[in-house]
Amino acid sequence: MTTRRVLIFAPTIIILVLLQSYFWVPTYDQQTRGNPERLHRYIAASIGDASLLNPILSADTASSQIESMVFEGLIDRDEDLRFRGRLATSWKVNEEAYFYVNESANIPELGKAGAEEIVNLIKEAKQEGPLSDPGLKASLELIEEISIVPSKEFAVTEHVRDPKNEKKEDEVKIRIKAPQRLKLTLSRVDQDLFRNLAKLLGNNYFAAFRGDKYLSTEPQVDKKRLASFARELVPATEHNPILVFHLRPNVRFHDGHVFDAHDVRFTFEAIMNPKNLSPRIADYEPVKAVEVIDPLTVRIIYKRLYSPALGTWGMGILPEHLLNDQALREEAIRLGKDPNSFSMRNSSFNRSPVGCGPFVFCAWKSDQYINLERFDDYWEGPPNYDSYMFRIIPDLLTQEMEFYAGTIDNYGVQPHQVKRLKTDPRFQSFSGTSFGYTYIGYNMRRKPFDDPKVRRALGMAIDVDKIIDYVLYGQGEPITGPFVKQTDYYSQNIQPLPYDPQGALKLLDEAGWRRNKEGWLEKGGKRLQFTLITNSGNDLRKAILAIAQDAWKQIGIDVSTDLLEWSVFLQERVDKADFDALILGWSMGIEPDLYQIWHSSQTHPHQLNFVGFKNGEADDLIIKIRQEYDHDTQVRYSHRLHDIIARDQPYTFLYVSKWTAILDKRIVIKKVDEAGNVHYKKIKPTKTGNYSFYFNKWIKLREAPSFELDG
């Protein structure tokens, strides 16, 4: 499991009389009788097609589902949610920390001191034995090595925006004469290091360091700007967490090319390349450098504390030899396009990807199917299934009928079917609460959504309980904020918005919106009207669309609706923030890092804060959460962030759904022991409800097992 955030197709509802035409579909027995290969082919179904098959560029579940088969990351999580190695066999986490010598500070019992005296002071304190302060003792014990970094002079050029003209940038040349610096090598990350060392060096030793006195600029800048440059170029202290991954030898990409550390570095660089417009930049921006130590060792240095660091390396690794600058240039020339503007987003690789995962990409026929074949040289051993087909079947009734006939192998049970199918003896059933939520998002760049009173009123006008009861058939729960509800990062103290149309009208009145003679709300002679959109092929969202439209019209808001084909909806409206309001869902990871979705820096095209939410305190909390290593403190910050977002209502948070999936009982886990004996086991979900965790070991038997499966 990775921490990727992806846009999801919510489960949908169809209330129709079952048609007799489904008998036209050949049964599973008929398929296997004439074609025994069907036993070895797994066929999945989706209501929507993938957008593109490149893990650093896509942000939807259909693409992610295929990418998880084709690509492999350095690590993932096992069934108990512990990190385990994939392309990496092992890893080590430690830290290098730095601080500048504060030449004007008085150290207790030492006075002003140079670098060598401070080194001796720290070494002596480390060797003294028991200390009265346990925090200082703990930090000193983690220090493995201390060294002095000589003073140095260097120059940089910064471009700053002209305050009188935002489109104009001024060039500022900065010369730095930095003093000596101490480097501390620690056995693990210590976020409290400098707080504890201040007890030894003096409470104000780090806080009183004046980096600006070591800077000179041309032209001269004001003190505020100079202080800003100093914090960036001559920071008093610096945490540099380090990850060292040891990679698995003899792993090959599907084209036979050997995977190594250069591919890891290339994947990072491709994410950070602004030409590629990767929505993953926020996860990797804290990385200072990715160093190739040797073909099977990669060293990743971070600019600052970043607690989700390890989990981000579950990202699928790209093949450098197929996507580097030379390869893209050659492809551009071959296609008759400008090599200078041609980027990875333009590459045909995204329609015919090459990874080193368990399945090899074979074919993609848009809006029909994506076909994968087993990779016989997969490092963990080839999957049991020979092939995997991903069929696009927008109509859920068709999906259901094809599942019964055996032409697809799994089916996401719709809410109104749960009671009937969950206990059907023909199937094995899996269920749980989703790691994510469904919401209505408002484009806060546009009026009237820039007013929090309007956004709150819109939420209060919608009866969420009605949606859960009548659209979800009770298969959902209200949600109030952006964290996964099953985690302790989610604040249970925040109550859902009340369903209160009269209260909504009162808030709108306070915002200046009043009913005209026709009953419509207007302000300054303009009617309160907008368009609510979502993707087609999703009857649940279509039902919410109608409920929201009706609820808002009841209080005098003129709302039109529109259903758009998924790729158009995503690429033309969401990615370009060209909408008033939309219905969408997020599928989340268990980590509390919300930077991609909620930080104010992530509001640009192809980024995930497409509603344009900007809040200074929220930004500070988001940064604190991703730099905090103490769980309880993370929880406290998360609850405060939850409170801010729930108060501002950039989304109307609707619900977290419960899901149920069914498989034919003939699908089991097949394992072969060292002696060659075959064992069949029941499929069991992980702690997160992931029942396909052992998919590579699945196999479908011709007949349902008549024997007792291993537990």
Give the pLDDT score at 3.
Answer: 46
The pLDDT score that the predictor gives to residue 27 is 52
For residue 231, pLDDT over 60 is answered with yes
36 pLDDT band (50/70/90 cuts)? low
Residues contacting 512, CB < 8 A, separation 6+: 523, 524
pLDDT tens across 303-354, in order? 999 999 999 999 999 999 999 999 999 999 999 999 999 999 999 999 999 9
SS (H, E, C) 283-344: HHCCEEEEEEEECCEEEEEECCCCCCCHHHHHCCCCCHHHHCHHHHHHHHHHHCCCCCCCCH
pLDDT for residue 571 = 87
Query: How many angstroms separate the CA atoms of 573 and 671, rounded?
Result: 47
Q: Where are the domains of the chain?
A: 6-82+325-434+660-700, 93-241, 436-659
Per-residue model confidence (pLDDT) at position 707: 57
Residue 375 has pLDDT above 90, yes or no: yes
Contact by Cβ (8 Å): 502, 452: no
CB-CB contact of 251 with 352 (8 Å): no
> pLDDT, tens digit, for every residue of 391-447?
999 888 899 999 999 899 999 888 888 888 888 888 998 888 888 899 999 999 999
How far is C-alpha 211 from the chain's CA centre?
36
Average pLDDT over residues 648-669: 93
166-182: average pLDDT: 88
Confidence of residue 33 (pLDDT cuts 50, 70, 90): low
CA 234, distance to chain mean position in Å, is 32
Which CATH superfamily groups domain 436-659?
A: Dipeptide-binding Protein; Domain 3 (3.10.105.10)
Amino acid occupying residue 365: K
State yes or no: pLDDT of 193 exceeds 50. Answer: yes
At 647 the three-state DSSP class reads helix
Confidence of residue 206 (pLDDT cuts 50, 70, 90): very high
pLDDT, position 9: 41
Please determine, for residue 31, whether its predicted confidence score (pLDDT) is greater than 80. no
> Which pLDDT value is given to residue 34?
52
Q: What is the mean pLDDT of residues 253-269?
A: 98
Helix (H, G, I), strand (E, B) or coil at 692: coil
Q: Does the pLDDT of residue 80 top 90, yes or no?
A: no
Mean pLDDT, range 452-457, rounded to an integer: 97
Domains 6-82+325-434+660-700 and 436-659 share a fold: no
Which residue shows structure tokens 């060039």?
171
Q: Using the predicted structure, report yes or no on whether residue 360 has a pLDDT greater than 70.
A: yes
- Whether the model pTM is above 0.85: no
63 has pLDDT over 90: yes
Q: Catalogue the E-assigned strands of 521-621.
A: 521-523, 526-527, 529-535, 558-564, 581-587
User: In CATH, what is the architecture of 6-82+325-434+660-700?
Assistant: 3-Layer(aba) Sandwich (3.40)
| Residue located via tokens 């006939």 | 405
Q: Which pLDDT band holds residue 32 (cuts at 50, 70, 90)?
A: low
pLDDT in tens, 500-514: 999 999 999 999 999
